[in-house]
Chains A and B, each alone.
Chain A
Amino acid sequence: MLSQVFLLSPRGDTLIFKDFKGNVPKTSTETFFRKAKFWDGEGRDAPPAFTVDGVQYLHVKVGGLYWVASTRENVSPSLVLELLLRMYWICRDYFGYVSEEMVRKNFLLVYELLDEIIDYGLPQNSSTERLKQFIMMEPVAVKQRLGGGGRAGLKLPGGATGPTEVIKSVLDTDRTGAKEEIFVDIVEKLTAIFDASGHQKSSSIVGAIQIKSYLSGNPPIRLGLSENLILGRRDSRMQQSSAYGSDTDVVVLDTYSINEGVDAERFGAERVLELAPPDGHFALMNYRSSRSFRPPFRVYPLVEDDMYAGDKLTLYLRLLAEYPASKTASGVEVTVPLPRSVQRVHCETDAPNESKLLALPGRGAFEQSAEWRERERKLVWSIKNLRGGQEHTLRCRLTVDQGSIESTKRDYGPIMVQFVLPGKPSASGLDVRYMKILKDEKNYAPSRWFRVVAMANSYQIRPH
């Protein structure tokens, strides 16, 4: 099926190269990199599957690396891409996190893993759990640069990862007797579009229950989900729910998929997910909901003419954090694209002057900044931490081309908001009521970590 699998650094250096069939020339790494890097000369991403000289290249870009497979056959691209992503996750499970340095230091282990995961181009064994019995080498740890991993984990394209990453190899529990623990995360990515008056025009949630397990012996666990959970639009409970009266009491998931280890029928009947969690990271359930949710943020834009200057405008952005004060969002970033007619921008945040002076690095709860990125034609306003119930205003003076006042007013936006907001309740309302670890052993009390996180997927305000 696959002819080769290789890992390239962002600069195109070959980190790992494995040939299975010898029917693709060894120069394929270069061929691939040149094509992918300069796809259209305009910096757009290459699609995940393309063909060069009769060789098919499939790739994903995760952990800052290119994970590539080449073949000459008409393979299933989803299978190959899923496999490459899985390789990334396995490496993560083994090393704690994945980076170029990590792969370089552990290249022998990567080869050993690859030998078990793929034989003659055919995917074999891809569960971290089952791989353990075949893998002899130990991972080599690389000292984390401060603050690196957590944030890097967040930025992974598409990977619905939580905000605080556990950097720990799965091997630690068994071999070194490190702490037994299990992490259960509900990660929801929100999509919403608002008009200028704050009316929510469309919304949807893509969510996942993700588990990272470091329990030795892999005892089965049981998770009870919300009782008022409705699965799919044709769920029989949907009909009954009208009997409950209010519509807001139910959680509706339009579509979902659950891990293959779970008894689907039982889940359908009792809303209980039971399985023996394999080691490392895995998704217990993925789902999608199109019901509207209470928006955590609102942004109201306002543009004012300047009474005296014909080439100036003032743009006000009012940001409201509409979640309870017990929650604090991090990495809040409001981005406003501005049209070409804008020449200069001067921004002023509402952070009080003394707090600017007093704010110590890492402590400043008020820390805000706003900048005009001229090359990208974007105004970026970021607030490190934002407690619920707070309100902030950004004031921007725009200098525009003569006579383009009106077109500037018409053409700015849409405004995008990025954020990470931990804390219950989840946007969809989905909740884990309880988690049991089914192990008959006295004094067995592994740590359980349960977290709910909402992140922006595509959170837009369209001012026109």
Chain B
Amino acid sequence: MADAKYFSTTKKGEIHELKLELNAVDKSKKKDAVKKVIAAMTVGKDVSPLFPDVINQMQTDDMELKKLVYLYLINYAKTQPDLAIMAVNTFVKDSQDPNPLIRALAVRTMGCIRVDKITEYLCDPLHRCLKDEDPYVRKTAAVCVAKLYDISAELVEDRGFLDMLKDLLGDANPMVVANAVAALSEIQELGGKPVLDLTLGTVSKLLRALNECTEWGQVFILDSVVNYMPADAKDAEAVVERVLPRLQHANAAVVLSAIKVILRNIQYIGDESVRTALLRKLAPPLVTLLGSEPELQYVALRNISIIIQAQPSVLANDVKVFFCKYNDPSYVKMEKLDIMMRLVNERNIDQVLLEFKEYATEVDVDFVRKAVRAIGFCAISIQSAAERCINVLLELIQTKVNYVVQESIIVIKDIFRRYPNRYESIIGTLCDSLESLDEPEAKASMVWIIGEYSERIDNADELLEQFLETFPEETAAVQLALMTATVKLFLKKPMEKPQQLIQLVLTYATQETDNPDLRDRAYIYWRLLSTDPEAAKDVVLAEKPTISGAQDSTDPALLEELLRELGTLASVYHKPAASFVSKMRLAVHRADDLAAAAVRGSQNGEPEMTSVVVVEASQAGSAPTAIAAPAAMPDLLGDLLDVRAPAGAMSAAPDLPVVFGEDKGKGVVLRAALTHAADAYILQMSVCNLSMDVPIEGPLLIQFNRNALGLAPASQSVSLDAVLPGATAVVCVPLVQRQELVAPDQGQVLQVALKFPRADVGVLYFASPIASNVHL
């Protein structure tokens, strides 16, 4: 029987037909019907009207059918919370079933139903299952604690589930230990505060379980242990000792996490010889990772780039393993090239150069360009090989492949700057390919070379004249380069032709162009030349500092952070985690609620509301009025914990900018601004009730996203006296500043979510600018 056939019915009255089938007497017919329902569900059809009929099938001994019903239940419970309650009894009963599979299934599924009403009933079964005799049930229950925490953190703390979870860290079964660690990490992430305190005792418990548990469990454990601060060198060595065998593991994630732990603990080991020996052990597993699937190779390569910047000795002799294969995906090739550039040295330069040359003849244009740049990099960083590199570049220019020539000229310009007065003999060759240049950067480089060496190029004036023909159409970079080159030419060869040229350029640049940079520079040259040509020579033809060959390495502070984040996405993006991980949990959860409400609404015939309302107050527009003078509410500052103004006091904050307007159709207008006084931040808000008949009542729930100042509300709950229809109330929310919430990349804006108890208002999102004068 093929499941695919369940997709085939699309007739009208399908729901009705399914309903009949679900209520059939024949068991196999019922099961088939449930499968059809789920097939419809997965292709996005709304089969929620069948909720009671499907739930009726839940009490069955048939595991397969039970699982199917649960699949349906998880999907629709949210939109049918009242009906979902019907399922509770079966869940509670199942959680005491003699079959451990059924017990685990019940507790796993219950945790996936995010309905507040069900959550209360979940506590008792969960409590039982955490102490179950069967490890499969215990490990499932451990994860369920994290699920519950996501729905209701208070409940988890009140019912002591956190402590039970911590007890499981000492469980006899390693899978249970691993899941307990994973659940605790998950809770830590959700709550934003540490729950797992790593003592020597906990760590050795975890490490004991390490050998026995699944590969994923090993990663959970290693990623927790990495946060352990060893008390002394002996401690650190003991941890490393336990972790070392993991380097042989076939799973790339285990290897990378193990390397992270080792690198972290190595810092605490004083003995230089032990450290060197350990570092030496890291190379083979890293090399092995390059034999895996390209996706995994890519992750490994990005991490290797970080590791060798911190510990250059690790792979110093292994440049060969990074040679590109022609069938590597381009994202792998680019990374390999990057690492080869970091590993190249006087001993291996010949080999590496040969590779680069080969890459420069491939078809992938970006890869070819990078290869040419790599050759230039070798020339600049390894003095003894500069000549060989230049010869390779000249060979490449001979190929006349347009982008290869242009890229070569760009790097040759840098080589000239690195080694002045050594390789100018090749200028003749470069001049042969003038016609093919069409990219601004290459043009600018060539023009720079002509200007710099105009005294050695006999026909420099003619060459520049050629370029000048299209002067008005060039990009700003080329125009600037052309102007400077012409001035250099004139100063070096003060003859008739250069003089004509310079007049042409300066006239155009001062009179015709709109580009202020170009115009200003032209004026400077003009004045210099007309007042004192000798001084002009000193300025324009001054000795230039030679450039160094340092590769663009990662900023040390960032590198430090990336080392800590080894094996995570941060290490792949080479960006700190805070720059791409946003604390969006609150917003999206509430968005879910809204979506569910919308579905409920649409069933009652109301228009469907599909998108979540998020308001971004334009920073520029509201900035001038953004700040209410701190003095405006002096009396409020004394009472930070519960600050409020009487209802209707619209005039108390007349100049707050509107952050959530009437046009959003919520019947509420919000004004808000961030102010500070007496070393504390306050969010001033005014709530205006536009509705005709319903008052708005408190308390409101408030939460911020991470922001540049690390601000958070002192209390999540904001009390608010009932705001009568048409009235306005002013609320001041005292804020606290917390270092761990600082996210400088979030920009000068404060993103706020505000939940109203009234369901039709729900959650409002707005953003309030953080003006520069509020900074303390």
A: residues with CB less than 8 A from B are 1, 16-17, 21-25, 44-49, 51, 54, 56, 59-60, 72-79, 81-83, 85, 104-109, 111-112, 115, 119-120, 122-127, 134, 136-137, 140, 157-159, 191, 202, 204, 206, 232, 254-260, 264, 283, 286-288, 290, 337, 377, 407, 410-411, 414, 416, 457-458, 460, 462
Contact flags (1/0) for B31-42 with A, using CB distance below 8 Å? 000010011001
B182: CB under 8 A from chain A? Answer: yes
B216: CB under 8 A from chain A? Answer: yes
Task: Compute how far the CA of A149 lies from the CA of B363 in the bound complex, rounded to whole angstroms.
Answer: 31
B622: CB under 8 A from chain A? Answer: no
Among B248, B284, B363, point to the contact of A254 (Cβ < 8 A): B284
Task: Compute how far the CA of A310 lies from the CA of B327 in the bound complex, rounded to whole angstroms.
Answer: 35
B372 CB to closest chain A CB, in angstroms? Answer: 16
A78-B256 in contact given A23-B588, A123-B216, A407-B399 (Cβ < 8 Å): yes
Most chain-A CB neighbours within 10 Å: which of B1, B358, B572? B572
A107-B3 in contact given A82-B251, A136-B63, A202-B323 (Cβ < 8 Å): yes
A280 CB to closest chain B CB, in angstroms? Answer: 15
A257-B285 in contact given A72-B584, A134-B101 (Cβ < 8 Å): yes
Instruction: Please classify the interface of chain A as helix (H, G, I), strand (E, B), loop, or mixed, using the class held by over half of its residues.
Output: mixed
Closest to A56 in B: B569
Instruction: Please indicate the chain B residues that have their CB under 8 angstroms from the CB of A159 in the complex.
Output: 293
Contact flags (1/0) for B139-158 with A, using CB distance below 8 Å? 11001101100100000000
Query: What count of chain B residues pass the 8 Å CB interface test?
Result: 95
20 A-B interface contacts by CB (under 8 A): A44-B366, A48-B294, A49-B569, A74-B569, A77-B572, A78-B252, A78-B253, A78-B567, A81-B252, A81-B299, A108-B35, A112-B67, A122-B186, A126-B215, A254-B287, A257-B285, A286-B291, A288-B321, A411-B399, A414-B358
Identify the 8 closest CB pairs spanning chains A and B, nearest first: A458-B325, A79-B253, A158-B293, A78-B253, A48-B295, A123-B216, A255-B284, A206-B291
Instruction: Please indicate the chain A residues that have their CB under 8 angstroms from the CB of B159 in the complex.
Output: none
Instruction: Please indicate the chain B residues that have their CB under 8 angstroms from the CB of A17 in the complex.
Output: 42
Instruction: Please indicate the chain A residues that have their CB under 8 angstroms from the CB of B255 in the complex.
Output: 78, 257
A126-B216 in contact given A255-B284, A255-B285, A264-B245 (Cβ < 8 Å): yes
B266 CB to closest chain A CB, in angstroms? Answer: 20
Instruction: Please indicate the chain B residues that have their CB under 8 angstroms from the CB of A1 in the complex.
Output: 182, 186
Closest to A260 in B: B249
- Is B568 within 8 A of A256, CB to CB? no
Among B1, B111, B288, point to the contact of A257 (Cβ < 8 A): B288
Instruction: Please indicate the chain B residues that have their CB under 8 angstroms from the CB of A59 in the complex.
Output: 295
Instruction: Please indicate the chain A residues that have their CB under 8 angstroms from the CB of B326 in the complex.
Output: 414, 416, 458, 460
Instruction: Please indicate the chain A residues that have their CB under 8 angstroms from the CB of B423 in the complex.
Output: none
Instruction: Please indicate the chain A residues that have their CB under 8 angstroms from the CB of B35 in the complex.
Output: 108
- Is A257 within 8 A of B250, CB to CB? yes
A337-B363 in contact given A122-B182, A136-B64, A283-B250 (Cβ < 8 Å): yes
Instruction: Please indicate the chain B residues that have their CB under 8 angstroms from the CB of A460 in the complex.
Output: 326
Contact flags (1/0) for B561-578 with A, using CB distance below 8 Å? 000010111101100010
Among B140, B296, B331, point to the contact of A45 (Cβ < 8 A): B331
Instruction: Please indicate the chain A residues that have their CB under 8 angstroms from the CB of B400 in the complex.
Output: 407
- Is B580 within 8 A of A54, CB to CB? yes
Instruction: Please indicate the chain A residues that have their CB under 8 angstroms from the CB of B220 in the complex.
Output: 122
- Is B288 within 8 A of A255, CB to CB? yes
B72 CB to closest chain A CB, in angstroms? Answer: 11
Instruction: Please indicate the chain A residues that have their CB under 8 angstroms from the CB of B364 in the complex.
Output: 44
Closest to A416 in B: B326
Among B67, B114, B248, B328, point to the contact of A264 (Cβ < 8 A): B248
B445: CB under 8 A from chain A? Answer: no
Of residues 253 to 302 in B, which have CB atoms within 8 Å of A's CB atoms? 253, 255-257, 284-285, 287-288, 290-296, 298-300
- Is B327 within 8 A of A22, CB to CB? no
Task: Compute how far the CA of A410 lies from the CA of B397 in the bound complex, rounded to whole angstroms.
Answer: 13
Closest to A23 in B: B588
Task: Compute how far the CA of A107 lies from the CA of B143 in the bound complex, rounded to whole angstroms.
Answer: 25
B97 CB to closest chain A CB, in angstroms? Answer: 15
Among A44, A76, A108, point to the contact of B256 (Cβ < 8 A): A76
Contact flags (1/0) for B110-150 with A, using CB distance below 8 Å? 01101000000000000000000000000110011011001
- Is A259 within 8 A of B250, CB to CB? yes
| Further contacts, 10 of them, CB under 8 A, given A72-B582, A79-B251 | A45-B331, A85-B296, A105-B3, A108-B3, A119-B140, A122-B143, A123-B216, A411-B399, A457-B325, A457-B327
Task: Compute how far the CA of A383 lies from the CA of B582 in the bound complex, rounded to whole angstroms.
Answer: 55
Task: Compute how far the CA of A416 lies from the CA of B567 in the bound complex, rounded to whole angstroms.
Answer: 34
Task: Compute how far the CA of A81 lies from the CA of B250 in the bound complex, rounded to whole angstroms.
Answer: 13
A288-B143 in contact given A74-B568, A126-B216, A460-B326 (Cβ < 8 Å): no
B624 CB to closest chain A CB, in angstroms? Answer: 30
Closest to B216 in A: A123
- Is A158 within 8 A of B63, CB to CB? no
B71: CB under 8 A from chain A? Answer: yes
A82-B296 in contact given A76-B567, A120-B147 (Cβ < 8 Å): yes
- Is A140 within 8 A of B2, CB to CB? yes
Closest to B328 in A: A458
A458-B296 in contact given A79-B253, A410-B399 (Cβ < 8 Å): no
Instruction: Please indicate the chain A residues that have their CB under 8 angstroms from the CB of B143 in the complex.
Output: 119-120, 122, 124
